[in-house]
Amino acid sequence: MAEAHQAVAFQFTITPEGIDLQLSHEALRQVYLSGLRSWRKRFIRIRNSVISGVYPASPYSWLFVVVAILATMYTRSDPSMGLISKIQEHLPVSESLSVQSQMVVVAVLFGTLIWFSFILAMRLFLKLLLSYQRWIFELHGKISITTKIWAVLIKLLSGREPLLYSYQSSLPNLPVPAVRDTIKRYLESVRPLMSTTDFQRMTALATQFENNLGTRLQWYLKLKALWASNYVSDWWEEYVYLRGRSPIMVNSNYYGMDFLYVTPTSIQAARAGNTIKALLLYRRKINLEELKPSHIPGTVIPLCAAQFERMFNTTRIPGEEADTLQHWKDSDYVAVYHRGRYFKLGVYRAGRLLSPRELEFQITRILDDPSPPCPGEEKLGALTAGDREPWARARKEFFGSGVNKRSLDCIEKAAFFVTLDDDEQGMMGDDPARNLDIYAKSLLHGKCYDRWFDKSFSVVVFKNGKSGLNAEHSWADAPTVSHLWEYVLASDAFQLGYDGEGHCKGELDPTLPRPQKLSWDIPPECQEQVTQSLMVAQTLADDVDFHVIPFRDFGKGRVKKHKISPDAFIQLALQLAYYRDRGMFCLTYEASMTRLFREGRTETVRSCSNESCAFVKALEEGEDMDVCRRLFRLAAEKHQNLYRLAMTGSGIDRHLFCLYVVSKYLGVESPFLKEVLSEPWRLSTSQTPVQQIELFDLVNHPEYISCGGGFGPVADDGYGVSYIIVAEDMFNFHISCKHSCAQTDAHRFGAHIRQALQDLLKMLNTDKKDPAGASQTPAQTDKQKTR
């Protein structure tokens, strides 16, 4: 009852003697501290906006410029070439000010004008420098003088410590490739996949498109590129993600795993406490812009940070025709699910973040809460796992008012979502490999109702302390979530830590108010829709075949000794494995990032090339090893060049996608574009980058490595393969496909991948020649992959 009384700031009672007013000083103190925290955050946002707004200059440089102008004026010099006199003549208050005051006002005005001009000039110069792309095409160890000078200039302009969003206004816009170039690259990419007759037909369609409709569509696209900061990203978010009407579970959402070999604590509440604390500390770093801007590793080249803006306090809202992303500026609680019940867990007390020990205490209260779920509450999350249209109609009909709206608002406006799972997961037991596969499937879809798939991300903490997360895809790509998860895992294990019994550290305030259990009034009609959505989701989840491979035979260290890009090595191994698995080649998707440009997201690298097919055929047909090695190096260099083109805005698929969108707006049909965009990606691949290796001490603690994450199959008859290159001696693969396709098998394909990796290294090891002359892109390029 004391907690309930403290929640009310004042009470009053009307008596015959008058009104008896009773104030709760503790409640008023909480209100005051919460308001103080809110105003402090507003001030910090304004301050950071100013600092980032004037970057690459400093706010203090304004004072220097004004003082310099004043000094020149006092020495009776005129650096403005008469402009200062003009300003003084037209100063509205010149008659009411003394001469010295006028000088100060004029100096401030002119100095501010010069300062802003200087900022714009520096920003334009930095944008021009960042538009230079030749560096990425130069061979490792053969950097030109131009590129060296360019790198020095960027470093000089970036000398002041930038905030998270400081580079945003200086990043170049994504360029629109020429239609001729895109079509040429497209035809080259499909040549090994088509018969001569089909290729001639496609060439005719492409030529007709280029000479007729393509020119008209390109004009509109260039117009958009002049107006918008990125001509792809808004359409990509809307048409690829938000307009999709099929379930986002499995089809769109992806997951990230915990440490592979260790679990910092086996106490579920403690692991949840540290994880929530680390996530909130990361959110604070984003709000204060204390995170360092991401760069191409080993370089000074910044990457776009726009995707960090909607990481927290964000939910995907279902719509009948298209979903929307809703983001709130702040949230002081998280939503928690346990045994069919939803809770609202406040994470602040007296204007401060709860300590890990306090969060563990609150989580324990939820775990020990004996109350049953409300009727229809237990499987309510299945609405977010099924088809989007039924969920949109149900939300409008049953959650538009009253207690259901209030409870749904609590979930959607939460900082993020937490599931306290009753299962135990991880690489454990008598069959650790099989249990690892089950662990991956659990993170991908769970029970189909115990995750809130619409939240920007949902954290899952299992009964034995193992953890992971499931992320919604429309707001950001995997590297952004990976950056968050790396920080959380490192902070949990190495900064926050646990005591000798496995509990969280920190002070504990036992008077904390209990987490609030949400209430629902779910009518039978809504419960019926929940059941139907669960059936759809369960059918989809049961059809997923998953296999995780921790490959420890060798890693990138052995590969790089042969002067081969590790990513190209893996991609060629995947081509070899697929050919052995299916006896043919297929259209292959590898995700590349375009965050060198403002609001950039991804581009497709078509990894199945003429060169890769020639190598695979030569190897499988028993050609001489020298011939195979030569073809292998040609294929690896081709892959790297395709990746460079994709990173620098000269990819194929995003350009054709946007041309297709324009054609739909204009109401015209293009047989060429229609056929191109209907081609299935039977092998969809993605590398999860390790971006903050400095957070992990893999020398002294090699067991603290993440297994990365994965996603569901893109095509019904294809494979999804996610991989992570861990340190120097390990690759991890996450392979998905569908049981309903008789031609695919995740375990079989995994065995082919393992054998392909070993065969490729064996082939390279038999090379007695010095491969130093072989070309290789800088290692930094290999690390920046995204789904």
522 three-state secondary structure: coil
* Closest by CA position to 518, among listed 684, 424, 407: 407
What averages of pLDDT result for each successive group of 10 residues across the chain (787 residues)? 41 57 60 68 76 78 79 72 68 63 76 84 90 87 87 83 90 96 97 96 96 95 94 96 96 95 95 97 94 87 95 97 95 97 94 94 97 96 97 96 96 98 91 94 97 98 97 96 95 93 92 95 96 97 96 94 95 98 96 96 97 97 94 96 96 97 95 94 93 76 86 96 92 96 97 97 78 40 43
User: 558: buried, middle or exposed (CB in 10 Å: 19+, 13-18, 0-12)?
Assistant: middle
Q: What are phi and psi of 10, to 5 degrees?
A: -150, 155
Cα angle for residues 88, 93, 95 (degrees, 5° grid)? 80
Token pair 């220097």: residue: 64
Residue 423: predicted pLDDT: 95
CA distances from 37 to 10, 34, 45, 510, 602 (A): 22, 5, 12, 22, 37
For every residue of 545-562, which 3-state class applies, written as one string? Answer: EEEEEEECCCCHHHHHHC
Strand-pair partners of 738: 544
Q: For 553-587, give the DSSP string.
A: S--HHHHHHTT--HHHHHHHHHHHHHHHHHSS---
Contact 686, 714 (CB under 8 A): no
* Given 338, 473, 562, 655, the catalytic residue: 473
pTM metric for this prediction: 0.89
Q: Is 25 a catalytic residue?
A: no
Q: Please, what's the b/e burial string for 402-441 (b: 16 or more CB within 10 A of its CB; e: otherwise)?
A: eebeebbebbbbbbbbbbbbeebbbbeeeeeeebbbbbbb
DSSP 736: E
Token pair 């809202």: residue: 317
